[in-house]
Structure formats: C-alpha cells, structure tokens
Amino acid sequence: MPYLFTSESVSEGHPDKISDQISDALIDNFLAFDPKSKVACETLVTTGQVVLAGEVKSDTYLDVQKIARDVINRIGYTKGEYMFDGNSCGVLSAIHEQSPDINQGVDRTSPEDQGAGDQGMMFGYATNETTNYMPLALDLSHMLLRELSALRREGKDIPYLRPDAKAQVTIEYSDENVPQKIKAIVISTQHDDFDEEEAMLAKIKSDIISILIPRVQAKLSKGIAALFTDNITYHINPTGKFVIGGPHGDAGLTGRKIIVDTYGGKGAHGGGAFSGKDPSKVDRSAAYATRHIAKNMVAAGLADEVLVQVSYAIGVAQPMGLYINTYGTSKLSMKDGEIAEKIEKIFDMRPYAIEQRLKLRNPIYEETAAYGHMGRENEVVTKTFVSPDGTSLTLDVELFTWEKLDYVDRLKKEFGL
C-alpha cells in the first residue's frame, strides 16, 4: 500500500538557525587563527538580544560581538522594525575556558591517539532517490527555502519577504519505496505588514505558487520536476498574518534543528547537535564521517539505501562499534554485519583520522549552519578573517568534504563490484 513521508526545513532567518550560524561563525574564526582550538559555543537569540555561552581552549582572541553582528546582518536582520537587528541588538558573552577534565581525555602526546570528545552514537544515511543521495522530501524543503531566500534578497518579484520562514513537503511513495508525487507543501514566510489581511493572504499564496514553485521546478531533474502536479495541496501561511517573526517572535537556540540538519527524519539520529562544536566533538565529526561512508556505499552500488552508526566512549580513540543497515536493498551476497566488518577496515573512524581525512580543522562550518549539513556541494572557497588587532587572514578552504565520492572505486574493488 502506498505511504506518505514528510520532512521540513527552516530558513537562515529562523531563530534557531540564527543561533546555529553565530555559533559556527565563532568556530570558524577560532579555527582560522588557531586550528587547534577546542570550542563548544551555544547561542541564544531573543528580542533585541544575543547571549553567547560555552567553553573555549584557544590561543586566539576574538571580537565575538562583531562576529555575531556580522552574521545577523548577513542573514538580513537590518531593520529596527524587526525588533532584532545586527547593529542595535545587545550581545552578551559568557564564554569561559574549557574544563581541563574534558581536555585531558581528548589531547594525547601522539595525535593519532586523540580521544573522542564525548560518548554517544552518530548516524549517517544515504539513499539513491536523489542525485545527491538525500531523502527527497528534505531535499525539496531545503530547495524551496533557498529559492525563497534568493527571491527575498533580489527584492523584485516578491519584495515584501522577511527573513524568517519554514517549509514542509509530503511525498507519496509506492510499495517499492519509489516517490510517486508530491502530496502537500506547507510554507510559512514572514512578510511586511499589509493593509488588508485577506488580500495579503491571497497575494502571498499566489506569489508562492506562481513564482517560487516554477523557479524550484526549473532547477530539478525532469523526473523530480514531474512530481509537481496540479493536485498538490498547498498550505501557505496557514495561520494567517506572519509579520512578527525571527527572534522577536520566538527565541532561538543553537542545536534545536538537528533533524533539519541531517535527513529530515529518515534513517536515524544519535541526538547530538553539530553547530558550535569543533571537530574533536564526535557528535559533529563522526556524523560527517558516517554520511561520507553511507553516500559512497550507495554511489558504489552496494545498496540503494544505507544507514551507518558509530559509537564512542569519551577519551577513547577507537569507536565502540560500527553498524550497517541496508534495509534489504544490498546488492551483495553478504549480511549487513559482514559488510560492516569490511567497512571498518576501509574507513579509520578514530577522531584524529576523521579530522585528517575530511579536513575538519579548517574554518568550514558557517556554511553548514543553514539548509542542512548533508547533501551539499563540495567546493573550494576563499574566506577572509580579521582579528581584533587588525590582522587579516585569507584562506582557501574546502567545504563539505564528507560529500565527496572519493571512495567509490575502492569500495567497488573491495566488494567485487
């Protein structure tokens, strides 16, 4: 019997995502000037106020207020009428030094013996239902909001948009787990005030369906674009007026959108957030590493769908174990446990090895903090950082290294494909 599956995304102007982006901008600045920095930084945003808290061990000093304000302005909170803007909001820092009790479990004389920054389990997932090996409902939700943000920044076709927005897509699947059509799309977008609410709602719904949806369709493959039929149920700003939004409408916290950040509810999640954590925290680095494994496995043709789990003890380098689930889609004459044993020998999952393999001690994290950490484009970009004393540092960094298909050939060889 056909079934439905739904995933959601939020825009870079959503309060929780503002927090994530500030926390990751701090991570990037610390790593740019001191790649050995250990950072765990949480951000709270609310009406006219930003609060930074957490632990840091680093040889560099940052102007955290300026970094936070720059992120807020970049996102688009630049007007006093939003009740939260980068130039006038208060920024309170309560960041202090990292506990030596934690640090002694991570640092080692030999870097290869670096212990995990915490205990826990992390999951990576991949499916061949999209070209970037991500679940379709989440991929479309991200795409809708990225395009909505582009329209907002252009300020032409839909000039009344404000930064806060959410999207949700429901897909109908066949018994064979193949997407058949889009059942429903929900979009709530913050907007400027209108004189008449009924006319406002009609205008927003018309613009979303006639302007946003075609722009998204034009960027999709023919097969995925065909899932947009005339029978989609649209809920556009279903509560009505959405003028008050962002941190004035709802407080935001780092790490509160972990399902948006990963797979939209597909596969599994270990519970740990990513943003605000340097790569010694395996919540982040091992989640990237398991995605890297899962994506390369599916791309190599080992299975149509793969879930990878790894687990750690704090201060211990070697993981507690590796788990593989191919959901019965494996193309190999091996059980999933046997596949896991071979994968363990191919991918070194010690924290230091992950950091080196995926180049994680670089300032690459602010870009991850909106529209998902997975399924993104691997690319090299140039970034410039300025310290409080005026020192300028320009670096070429490789983003989303865990999305590279650099192990496909080796996996095919190892598994005889």
Answer yes or no: 277 catalytic. Answer: yes
Q: Is 281 annotated as a binding residue?
A: yes
Q: Which of 146, 183, 281, 357 is catalytic?
A: 281
Q: Where are the alpha helices (DSSP H) in 91-183?
A: 100-106, 136-154
Count of CB atoms situated within 10 Å of the CB of 229 = 10
Answer yes or no: 70 catalytic. Answer: no
Answer yes or no: 176 catalytic. Answer: no
Q: Is 277 annotated as a binding residue?
A: yes
Q: Which of 250, 344, 348, 398 is catalytic?
A: 250
Question: Torsion over CA of 340, 342, 348 and 354, rounded to 10 degrees?
Answer: -50
Q: Which of 146, 256, 292, 350 is catalytic?
A: 256
Q: Is 55 annotated as a binding residue?
A: yes
Parallel, antiparallel, or unpaired for β 233-236 and 321-325?
Answer: unpaired
Q: Which of 42, 118, 147, 305 is catalytic?
A: 42
SS3 content of the chain, % helix, strand, coil (to 5): 35, 25, 40
Q: Which of 8, 12, 16, 278 is catalytic?
A: 16
Q: Which of 14, 291, 295, 373 is catalytic?
A: 14
Residues 26 and 69 sit within 8 Å (Cβ to Cβ): no
Answer yes or no: 38 catalytic. Answer: no
Answer yes or no: 55 catalytic. Answer: yes
Within 13 Å of residue 368, how many CA atoms lie on the same side as its CB?
Answer: 34
Q: Which of 184, 251, 313, 340 is catalytic?
A: 251
Answer yes or no: 14 catalytic. Answer: yes
Q: Is 335 annotated as a binding residue?
A: no
152 by DSSP, 3-state: which? helix
Q: Is 341 annotated as a binding residue?
A: no
Answer yes or no: 281 catalytic. Answer: yes
Q: Is 85 annotated as a binding residue?
A: no
Q: Is 166 annotated as a binding residue?
A: yes
d(CA 95, CA 80): 27
Q: Which of 277, 292, 295, 373 is catalytic?
A: 277
Q: Which of 11, 98, 96, 103 is nearest to 52 (CA)?
A: 96
Q: Give the length of the chain.
A: 417
Q: Is 257 annotated as a binding residue?
A: yes
Answer yes or no: 222 catalytic. Answer: no
Q: Which of 401, 388, 409 is nearest to 66 (CA)?
A: 388
Answer yes or no: 383 catalytic. Answer: no
Q: Is 379 annotated as a binding residue?
A: no
Answer yes or no: 261 catalytic. Answer: no
Answer yes or no: 12 catalytic. Answer: no
Q: Is 146 annotated as a binding residue?
A: no
Q: Which of 257, 266, 284, 295 is catalytic?
A: 257
Residues 77 and 92 sit within 8 Å (Cβ to Cβ): no
Q: Which of 5, 33, 84, 242 is catalytic?
A: 242
Answer yes or no: 283 catalytic. Answer: yes
Answer yes or no: 17 catalytic. Answer: yes
DSSP-assigned states of every residue in 362-412: SS--GGGGSS-SSSPPPEEEEEEEE-TT--EEEEEEEE-GGG--TTHHHHH
Q: Is 413 annotated as a binding residue?
A: no
Q: Is 412 annotated as a binding residue?
A: no
Q: Extract the annotated binding site for Mg(2+).
A: 16
Q: Extract the annotated binding site.
A: 14, 16, 42, 55, 98, 164-166, 241-242, 250, 256-257, 273, 277, 281
Q: Extract the annotated binding site for ATP.
A: 14, 164-166, 241-242, 250, 256-257, 273, 277
Give the catalytic positions in this structure. Answer: 14, 16-17, 42, 55, 166, 242, 250-251, 256-257, 277, 281, 283
Q: Extract the annotated binding site for K(+).
A: 42
